[in-house]
Structure 1
Amino acid sequence: MNKRVDDALMSLKEEMIEAILELVKIPSVQGEPEKEAPFGINVKKALEEALKLGERLGFVVKNVDNYAGHVQYGNSGKLFGVLGHLDVVPEGTGWSVDPYGGVIKDGYIFGRGVVDDKGPTIAALYALKAVKDAGVDPKNRIRIIFGTNEESGWGGITYYLEREEVPEMSVTPDATFTLIYAEKGIVNYRFSKRTGEKKKGFEIIELKGGEASNMVAADATAVIKGDVDQLLAVLESFVPENKATIRWERNNDTLAIFVKGVSAHGSKPEMGVNAISALLDFLEKLELSRAGLQEFVKTVASKIGYETDGTSLGIAGYDKMSGPLTVNFGTLRLNAEKVEGVINIRYPVFFNEERIKMQVEEALKGLEVVREHHHDPLYMSPDSELVKLLVDIYENVTGEKAQLHTIGGGTYARAVPNAVAFGPLFPGREETEHQPDERILIDDLLMMARIYAQLFYIILTQW
């Protein structure tokens, strides 16, 4: 380990923490496109803040039309990339602190994005600063690339890579240590049905659930008009199968029903409690006033329901490398004309998405099914140059034996050739991304930065 680089990094600890806290205060959830803000004004603000920080640290920076940007050190030679992202999923509910407050408590930084992915991205930036401060003469180049809509479509990184040089090797600090050599395929399916003409039965005035396809829905709501006494009789005897909780408010001939679940990352839906699933289970027991809505509810409740493995959809399966297929029921919405839902599927590395789609369409026959946001699986051989390099650096800095993993999550590693996810979570750490009270130990962020600083030193001097 290069001690001069490590000492330089340690001296930057407090400055690094402060920079992360300031970036976390920007609620960079993707919003409506505005002029010169393709993913909303707050995402643009986060990108501008990161690039200003890069300038203050003495790097060359570039904003690529507010779709993405980068910080670079080195003027020639091979290009190594670090792909992070500055957008976040919605904060959701259930926090004990302000999700955008920049809170430090019990040795942790709390806030939406401190794990996924603002904290690790800025830690990587300070690792590059440490190498620069140590006086390393670079024979190659490193770019910290700031993506802007990783959580909702990858339009930003796609736009960037179409216009900028693609790195020869890359890492993304958006998963776990030691590294991720395989990532499941990811695909969303949006399914919908026109609600149809009004007839006798309970009228659904409002129906909504979930905040993003890649989050387990923690909340779902239905406002129902009709015989409230009859409705209450059904509701009071209803017990959700997944331990979601229910409360309701009566207002003359309407009843508002609020279902509360537990959020989790969409790649691990079994870790959460899906409020949408419980609400549809209840609605399936009612006679609804619109035939299309009734068909939607019955079909989805029977073919998706509480399941997270796709059994009733006919797509359940497993491969030894990457584990089981998972299904997350992410969002549910009703408007004046139609009802629609979105499921987020993570499928094993050796599965075929075309066949999955055909089976989903068959299982949900009668509903319109549209594929969205498909990302092929990723696989990087454990014998590759990049994996061997990262394993060696991790073991030298931490003194711990390297562990190679596969995940259901999707990272920017699959956006470019010859890339893997590398950190920030260490073995045994709680996974809090996409959940209330997202947090990361300051000491872990510091260790991640130390690892990255040594990686950068090797890349800039020996690659």
Structure 2
Amino acid sequence: MIIGKEIHKYRDAITVGISELVQIRSIMGTPEPGKPFGAGVDRALQYMLSLAESLGFEVTNVDGYAGHAEYGQGEEIAAVLVHLDTVEEGEGWTFPPLGGLIENGRIIGRGASDNKGPAVVALYALKTLMDLGITGNRRLRLIFGTNEEESGMKDLDYYFGREQLPVMAFAPDAGYPIFNVEMGSMNVVFSSEQESSSTKTQLTILSLKGGNMLTLIPETCTASLSLAQLTDSQVANFHAAVNLQTNLSVTYDGSSVMVLTAGSELLADSPTGSRNAIVNMVTFLCGQGLTTNWDSLLHFLHSKIGAEKGGQSLGIACSDSFSGALVVYLRTISCDLHRAEALCNIRYPVSHDGAGILSAVDGLAGKHGVRTELTRHLHPVYVPETHPVIVRLSRAYKKITGDEAVLLRMGAGTYARKMRNNGVAFGAGLTGGVDTHVHQADEFVFIDDMMQHAEICLQGMYELLID
């Protein structure tokens, strides 16, 4: 039975729902009683629970961490998992980031595609199943999370500590067809103490900053450097070295402070297509033969990470046939006169042990006078092609698109990581679809694209519900 097109009657309601939800600023905020991730995130949760209730569903709010709307009957639960929190707006918008503007067939605003659009679609897909009176031997639950973008998805840890774990689930938070592999992902912060005395430091780093948590590869890195302790010949040599760099721009703050900004470069053999700006800056600073106030950290980053993508110098290179090779990304760096730290993301194959990888990195960093801190660890996902959730979603995908559902892998993370290998990422991005500026300025969704996703999503939910 093919029912995907039945959802088109809710096109206008879906459009309005996405627009209204986008207008709620739902970034992680200060915890309040009953609002563990802040008032804004809670407003988004309350909006969706109220909307679901108005559509005739029983809803549950699990202490503000997450909530759900449910349809059907039976002991087992199948689920669709969506998140209502977003990253911060960031800079560079040409439209109001919280406007929810509907213009030229698009809905524009933070969260429109990640993940508020798919959240509203999933609710109306559930409503369509109710309208059609389709039931099976299990319940179908739409779970609204509130902390996917931050802190390792603690919302679902709390939720599943109190609610039944679904036997099958999908998260419409990636693309089509089906992502059955999500690599393990660790955020590791490297830091060090200043070891150079003022008499030994030649080049003083007043500040060094690059990258942000909105983007994987930092596009710029800026260093404010004091040249006051250099000799005249060292100053001349430093200026000459700067002038030879095509990826450095320079300004001055007074007579002895130079401000350098490094950009990124396109690299054909890079998994992200670029060599990041932090690597370019660190490479330049470490190549001048001058002591700095942060030598331990900079030289560790330069010699053990640098432009490598596979963790070879860190001693953690590995791969498997399911997920490919381990990948290392230097994401952010922040230094001033008192503290220096850099955040590195390590994505490792599903068949390898994250604890062993972290132990190897920690031991090597310690030998270089650098401390490590694990700030987030998302364990890998691997769901075999014979699992019922893949069989059912593959059937749904082919019924709507006519194409076979190819199994894909990713390094990023979705709520599938909390499903103990019983869930996958399925949608919402269409195969060959447009870039909707996820985590960037002017994020949007095309309404037509969202409705194509809605057909597949509804069919997928139907296949999970029936036997």
Offset of residue 288 of structure 1: 4.7
> Shift in Å at residue 353 of structure 1?
2.1
Give the distance between the partners of 2:97 and 2:432, measured in 1 at CA. 24
Aligned residue pairs total: 450
Q: Greater shift after overlay, 42-51 or 125-134?
A: 42-51
- On the 8 A contact 2:214/2:440 being kept in 1, the answer is no
Using the alignment, how far apart are the partners of 1:401 and 1:282 within structure 2? 48
1:158 is displaced (CA, Å) by 0.7
In the TM superposition, what are the counterparts of 1:401-412 in structure 2 within 5 Å? 401-412=404-415
Q: Which amino acid aligns with 1:457?
A: Y
Q: Residue 149 of structure 2: SS of its match in structure 1? A: helix
CA 92–213 in structure 1, closer or farther in 2 if over 3 Å, else same: closer
Render the CA deviation track for 1:107-166: whole Å, top value 9, x for unaligned.
444443333222222211121122223344565322211212222221111111111222
Q: So what's the TM-score if we normalise by structure 1?
A: 0.87
- Aligned mate of 1:441, from 442, 446, 456: 446
Conserved in 2, the CA contact under 8 Å of 1:215 and 1:434? no
Segments of 5+ residues of structure 2 without an aligned counterpart are: none
Is the 1:214–1:328 contact (alpha carbons within 8 Å) kept by the matching residues of 2?
Answer: no
Report the counterpart of residue 154 of structure 2 in structure 1.
155
Equivalent position of 1:145 in the other structure: 143
Percent identity (aligned): 36
The aligned residue for residue 193 of structure 2 is 194
For residue 12 of structure 1, give the secondary structure of its aligned residue in structure 2. helix
Residue number in structure 1 paired with 2:433: 429
What residue number does 1:350 align with?
351
Q: Relative to 1, partners in 2 of residues 1:26 and 1:260: Cα closer, same or farther, differing over 3 Å?
A: farther
What's the CA shift for 1:326?
1.2
- SS of 1:306's equivalent in the other structure is coil
In structure 1, distance between residues paired with 2:426 and 2:188: 29
Alpha-carbon contact 1:217-1:262 (below 8 Å) kept: no
Structure 1 residue 279, shift from structure 2 partner = 2.3
Q: Which amino acid aligns with 1:328?
A: Y
* Corresponding residue number in structure 2 for 1:311: 312
Q: Distance in 1 between matches of 2:271 and 2:145?
A: 25
Name the SS of the counterpart of 2:374 in structure 1: strand
- 2:45 is matched with 47
Aligned to 1:235: 242
Post-superposition shift, 1:51? 2.2
Q: Tell me how far apart the structure 1 counterparts of residues 382 and 11 of structure 2 sit (CA, whole Å).
A: 34
**Cα separation, 2, equivalents of 1:221 and 1:23:** 36
Q: 1:247 to 1:150 in 2, by over 3 A?
A: farther
Letter of the structure 2 residue corresponding to residue 168 of structure 1: V
Q: Distance in 2 between matches of 1:247 and 1:86?
A: 41
Counterpart contact for 1:6–1:130, Cα < 8 Å: no
Query: Partner amino acid for 2:352?
Result: F
Q: Which position in structure 2 is the counterpart of 1:183?
A: 182
1:376 maps to 2:379? yes
Structure 1 position 382, deviation (Å): 0.8
Match of 1:256 among 252, 256, 259: 259
- Amino acid aligned to 1:29: I
Q: Which amino acid in 1 is paired with 2:246?
A: V
CA contact (8 A) 1:213 1:331 kept: no
Give the one of 266, 273, 276 matched to 1:274: 276
Measure how far apart 1:42 and its partner are: 2.8
TM-score by length of 2: 0.86
Alpha-carbon separation, structure 2, partners of 1:163 and 1:95? 40
Please state whether the residue corresponding to 2:253 is helix, strand or coil: strand
**Take 1:455 and 1:180, find their aligned partners in 2: how far apart are those partners?**
14
> Bigger shift: 43-52 or 342-351?
43-52
Measured in 1, the distance between the counterparts of 2:336 and 2:252 equals 22
RMSD after superposition = 2.8
SS state of the match for residue 457, structure 2?
Answer: helix
Deviation at 1:187, TM superposition (A): 1.3
Distance 1:210 1:376 in 2: 24
**Gapped regions of structure 1 (runs ≥ 5):** none
Q: What CA distance in whole angstroms lies between the structure 2 residues aligned with 1:122 and 1:372?
A: 31
Quick one: structure 1 residues 271 and 63, their matched pair in 2 at CA, closer, same or farther if it must change by over 3 Å?
farther
Partner of 1:294: 295
CA contact (8 A) 1:269 1:328 kept: no
* Match among 15, 18, 26 for residue 16 of structure 2: 18
| Aligned-pair CA distance for 1:32 | 4.2
Alignment of 1:87-126 (within 5 A): 87-104=85-102, 107-126=105-124
Query: Which residue in the other structure is 2:168 paired with?
Result: 169
Aligned twin of 1:130: 128
Residue 79 of structure 1 is matched in structure 2 by: 77
Q: Does 1:452 align with 2:460?
A: no
Q: Which residue of 2 aligns with 1:415?
A: 418
Letter in 2 for 1:344: N
Partner residue of 2:286?
284
Pick closer, same or farther for the CA change 1:224–1:407 going to 2, 3 Å: same
> How far is 1:437 from its partner?
4.3
| 8 Å contact from structure 1 (residues 90, 212) kept in 2 | no
Alpha-carbon distance in 2 for matches of 1:262, 1:65: 46
Distance 1:66 1:235, change over 3 A: farther
